[in-house]
Structure 1
Amino acid sequence: MHFESELKLLLMSQHSLLYVVTDEEERLEYTLRKIIEQELSGFMYYWDFIEGYHDNPNNAKKATGNPLGALEFIDNSTSGTSKFFILKDFHVFMNDISVIRKIKNIAKKLKNINCNIIISASEIQFPPLLKNSITVIEFPLPNVQEIQIELERLSKVLSINSSVCIRDLAVAYKGFTIDKIRRSVAKFISSQKSIDSITDCILEEKKQLIQQTDILEFYPCNNNLSDIGGLINLKKWLVKRSDAFSQQARTYGLPSPKGVLLVGIQGTGKSLSAKAISEQWKIPLLKLDVGKIFAGIIGESEKRMRRMIAISEQSAPCILWIDEIDKAFSRLNQSTDSGTTNRVLSSFLTWLSEKETQVFIVATANNISLLPAELVRKGRFDEIFFLDLPRKEERANIFRIHLMKLRPLSWKNFDLTHLSILTEGFSGAEIKQSILEAMHDAFYEKREFNTRDISNAIKEFIPLSFSDKSSISALQNWAKLGKVRLASDRSINN
């Protein structure tokens, strides 16, 4: 395991004060015990605020309720056999000046007395005065192989017989702690539900887990590619990558796709495309509210970005939908930002370039000119698609899709060709709105709506493109220069 190797290396290379970020104390203790007892040959001491030192009868209850006393105990240790002191939740006491001073004093002598301090904490929270003394390492959630081992153990202990593949369950449980997995399995058994229906229940639990973070939203998907009128190039590109996250693709040697940037004015199908990708690829969709990343407290925005990345990777394979990303990074042009947006953007760009997990980014933007050049350069995304206003044939198809849903038996009675001619310059969203407006008018008159009602609604409608010609023109120029790819199967001059 990468974590075990890294931790062993740190302990052997005189990194005497480690700060391990985790919510899994029990699993961390097991991992530490395995490394220390089997490979480093040392004694382990555990301390927490309520019980003091324990796990050793000679030191039982020492330094109970006394964090400074816990450090004194370490300070009084003699050299000899290696000693490893695990201090649980110690980060909550590390803003006290006496604790800070004591840690700095001890840090100087730990190497001489052959001791290591390992602080376990659920978050990174220690004063700047200690940043040069402490090495931070994150204890990752269990990977698919570890989850699979635990599920196999549980299936034997609980005598579970299921046709569901353990490997598939392990993938579904990715992002859960071992304790959460155990409680989840116990819940299913207690509910007397069929174990074969466990995957749907896991998805619901994962949804609740993600929504508790208040950064990401587990987004339901009820749309597929057939709900999109036009955008032939985009749809072909997506269909070809439908199995890109499969084991067969990895065996073939294909790298996981990074993501796409969808640009175009409002209503051209960017959000609909994000939902359709999730349905087409059969992987969950997480939506990021970029506004929630930026917080007023210094350092909080960067922390939230790291948290968002961690949650996304824990939920992989998944799609991360970042809506209207241009609005978030337009802050770069403001002088009142104190560098926060630059730091957040830097973290995001680094992740985009280096991520190896199966998180597919779908970013949407209305105004590409607001995006920093670093974000749109080649390599950040697999492709940048320009979603232009639909041409006549595409508008007819959009009318057909909406009318088939609203009037599945009588949609052929509408003159789609006539309606598509009338809606020159309309976006897909505006076409849908014109149909709804016609329905309201007819419903008010207590009759069925028809082509004339939609035509009248269209004549009263002022499409957004009439007031946003500069944005469309700029995007069309980008397409002509080859900086973005047309989502529709046509020439930019059509």
Structure 2
Amino acid sequence: MNEMSKKQQILQDLRKLILSRVSIVYIVSDEEDRVETLLKELSATFQPRPKLFVWNPFQGLRAEEETIENSKDPFEALDQVMRRMDQSFFLFEGIHSFMKTDPLLARKMKDVHRALRNRYTTLFIIAPILVVPEELFRDMVIYELPMPDVSEIERILNQVLSSSPPSLKLAESLSPELKERMIKAALGLSLDQVARAFRSALTGRSSLDSSIVDAIIEEKGQLIKKSGILKLVTDRPTLDEIGGLENLKDWLRKRAGVLSQNGRLQGIPLPKGVLITGVSGCGKSLCAKAFASFWGIPLLHLDMARLYDGTVGEPEKALQIALQTAETVAPSVLWIDEIEAGISIQSQKAGGGTQSRVFASFLTWMQEKKAFVFIAATANVIELLPPEVLRKGRFDQIFFVTLPNPQERKSILSIHLKKHGVDPSKVNLNMLTKVTEGFNGAEIEQAVNGAMIEAFHEGRALTEQDIVIAAGNIVPLSITMKEEIGRMERWAYHRAIPASK
């Protein structure tokens, strides 16, 4: 579905249901105001125009110019629906709470279905959760309301900008590119949340810059917290903060515009995800985080091992909620660190049916997800993963990271020196590159950090000799795990793409 026509598609879907004489439509959504607006627009497309009545347990049935007395009780309100013979739309808000507790309400709904099935009168139920007694499944249609699209979010942004005190200055500093990034960051929020996110992000600003995108993304953190198992990661390094790994960076740069309007119009296929494996400390997790900052979208962390520790309830249900949340706040990057901890061959054998069902659910979701949720998975021991995960179609590419080469070590040293305010040109990087031969990225960082502490303790500036001494106190993984690294490299030779050139 084209994002620009999503609202029209919703109206078309609902119109088809009405013309098909569907008696009860259950809309799964918590956006009551939005649904009321949609139904008002929908009623305007019919002649004669149906009247829209909205019910809630405190106000009863009411329309723009009419209120039906004694209709606060759900049974009385449903009786009024059945008695009314003219074409009307009825939207019931909050009735799902009564359906949970009163089994007689299901019987009443069945009577409503029988009364309306030959009329052009439709009962709409809106609720954030699905509460449908088994005997009613055949008598109603369930419709999941899509989240607001680009055009709806742009309309809200324009309204918020025009109502802000420094609206003229804000409008002048809003470039088309930044506007598109703001709209993209707000995708996955309800209209109320979109307006709140924009108002909150604009508060105290007289001009706009790229930092406003992060402020909008933070609003999504409230949704993510409710999942219980997902975590919104705000520390998202840029590609410039990663030394080397040019093959992986080039792969990502070629997909820079996949989320742009131009990319959508040209039908550019969206990437599904990548699996990054290799030597510990060589930047697997760092790369996974960089995908989110590159596209300017939220980064969600899914801890697969936590699914089974008993703190989040049933593993299958917890995973389902997590994946639904990831799609709700899409576009997003789903970072799964050490994916083999949750869906390895051994864990399926040890855990029996539960692990197998979780694995099957995850594979199905990977294949069928509709929203753009880019999976950035890392694995330390990739051989533990079932072959179904590794086959083409699950991930776009499998990258292998190994110990950095001399040029990459030089780049990593420069990055960490700059972080500490040290000018790399004042240091003999070529000599330090040789000293750190066999070091991974994490060990190089530790050497620089240790040198900084030593220099600070002695009250002087950092020297390259400090780094040499700090590096000499580190026994790198290339020595302690020499055989294991060799085994990894042999496995990856014909099975994965090197992340480095």
**Could you say whether these structures have the same fold, taking a TM-score greater than 0.5 normalized by the shorter chain as the test?**
yes
Equivalent residue in structure 2 for 1:60, among 68, 73, 91: 68
**The one of 92, 100, 103 aligned to 1:87:** 92
- Asked if 2 retains the 8 angstrom alpha-carbon contact of 1:265 and 1:367, the reply is no
The match for 1:487 is 499
**Inter-CA distance 21–468: structure 2 relative to 1 (3 Å threshold):** farther
Name the CA distance, whole Å, in 2 between partners of 1:390 and 1:264. 12
**C-alpha displacement of 1:89:** 1.8
Looking at structure 1, the residues matched to 418 and 234 of structure 2 have their Cα atoms a distance apart, in angstroms, of 22
**Under a length normalisation based on structure 2, what TM-score does the superposition of the two structures give?**
0.79
**Counterparts in 2 of 1:14 and 1:251: CA distance versus 1, 3 Å:** closer
Does structure 1 residue 121 correspond to structure 2 residue 121? no
Match of residue 5 from structure 2 = none
Output the CA distance in 2 between the equivalents of 1:322 and 1:9. Answer: 41
Distance in 2 (CA, whole Å) between partners of 1:423 and 1:210 is 41
Structure 2: how far apart are the matches of 1:445 and 1:254?
57
The Cα of 1:114 is off from its aligned counterpart by 5.3
Q: Distance in 1 between matches of 2:391 and 2:317?
A: 28
| 2:358 aligned with 1:341 | yes
Corresponding residue for residue 44 of structure 1: 52
Q: Which residue of 1 aligns with 2:31?
A: 24
1:459-478 equivalence runs, <5 A: 459-464=472-477, 472-473=485-486, 475-478=488-491
Counterparts in 2 of 1:470 and 1:192: CA distance versus 1, 3 Å: closer
Counterpart secondary structure, 2:46: helix
The percent of aligned pairs where both chains have the same amino acid is 30
Answering whether residue 77 of structure 2 is matched by residue 70 of structure 1, we say yes
Residues 486 and 55 (structure 1), Cα distance of their counterparts in 2 relative to 1, 3 Å cut: same
1:109 deviates by 4.8
1:210 alignment counterpart = 221
Which AA in structure 1 matches 2:151? Answer: Q
Report how far residue 28 of structure 1 moved.
0.6
Residues 379/187 of structure 1: CA separation in 2 closer, same or farther (3 Å cut): closer
Distance verdict in 2 for CA 1:460–1:148, change over 3 Å: closer
Residue 55 of structure 1 aligns to which amino acid in structure 2? A
User: In structure 2, what is the equivalent of residue 390 of structure 1?
Assistant: 404
SS in 1 for 2:329: helix
**Larger deviation, residues 18-27 vs 207-216:** 207-216
Q: Distance in 2 between matches of 1:151 and 1:444?
A: 51
Find the aligned partners of 2:454 and 2:162 in 1 and give their Cα distance: 64
Alignment of 1:290-439 (within 5 A): 290-291=303-304, 295-297=312-314, 300-313=317-330, 316=331, 318-330=332-344, 331-333=347-349, 334-335=351-352, 337=354, 340-351=357-368, 355=370, 357-406=371-420, 408-409=422-423, 412-414=426-428, 416-417=430-431, 420=434, 423-424=437-438, 426-439=439-452
Q: Which secondary structure state, in structure 2, belongs to the residue aligned with residue 100 of structure 1?
A: helix
Letter in 2 for 1:91: H
- How far apart are residue 475 of structure 1 and its match? 3.9
The runs of 5 or more residues in structure 1 that have no matched partner are 490-494
Q: Residue 15 of structure 2: which of 8, 19, 28 is its match?
A: 8
Q: How does 1:258-273 map to 2 (within 5 A)?
A: 258-273=272-287
**Contact map agreement 2:273 2:395 (CA 8 A) in 1:** yes
Q: Which amino acid aligns with 1:329?
A: I
Q: 1:455 to 1:149 in 2, by over 3 A?
A: closer
Structure 2 CA distance for aligned equivalents of residues 179 and 56 of structure 1:
22
Structure 2 CA distance, aligned partners of 1:367 and 1:400? 30
Would the aligned equivalents of 1:392 and 1:421 in 2 still touch at CA under 8 Å?
no
Q: Pick closer, same or farther for the CA change 1:374–1:414 going to 2, 3 Å.
A: same
Q: Tell me the distance in 1 between the aligned counterparts of 2:424 and 2:231.
A: 38
Q: Hey, what's the Cα distance between the residues in 2 that align with 1:58 and 1:247?
A: 44
TM-score, scaled to structure 1? 0.80
SS in 2 for 1:147: helix
Tell whether the 8 Å contact from 1:326 to 1:371 is kept in structure 2 after alignment.
yes
Distance 1:340 1:98, change over 3 A: farther
* Alignment check: 8 A CA contact 2:50 2:89 kept: yes
- Evaluate the alpha carbon distance shift between residue 84 and residue 274 of structure 1 in structure 2; reply closer, same or farther with a 3 A threshold: same
SS of the counterpart of 1:197? coil
Once structures 1 and 2 are overlaid, which stretch shifts more, 47-56 or 206-215?
206-215
Query: C-alpha separation between the residues in 1 aligned to 2:348 and 2:394?
Result: 19
Q: CA, structure 1 residues 468+417, in 2 after alignment: closer, same or farther (shift >3 Å)?
A: same
Q: Distance in 2 between matches of 1:400 and 1:224?
A: 15
Query: 1:380 and 1:442 mapped to 2: Cα distance?
Result: 49
The alpha-carbon deviation at position 70 of structure 1 amounts to 3.3
Q: Any idea what SS the aligned residue of 1:38 has?
A: coil
1:145 alignment partner, one of 142, 146, 151: 151
Picking from 211, 223, 227, the partner of 2:241 is 227
Structure 2 counterpart of 1:4, one-letter code: L
- Cα separation, 2, equivalents of 1:218 and 1:338: 25
1:287 equivalent in structure 2? 300
Question: Once superposed, what is the RMSD of the aligned Cα atoms?
Answer: 3.7
Give the whole-Å Cα distance in 1 for the aligned partners of 2:381 and 2:160: 52
Match of 1:39, SS state, is: coil
Shift of 1:374: 2.9
Corresponding residue SS for 2:377: strand
Contact 1:145–1:170 at 8 Å: present in 2 too?
no
**Corresponding residue SS for 2:125:** strand
Q: Report the Cα distance in structure 2 between the residues aligned to 1:58 and 1:363, rounded to whole angstroms.
A: 56
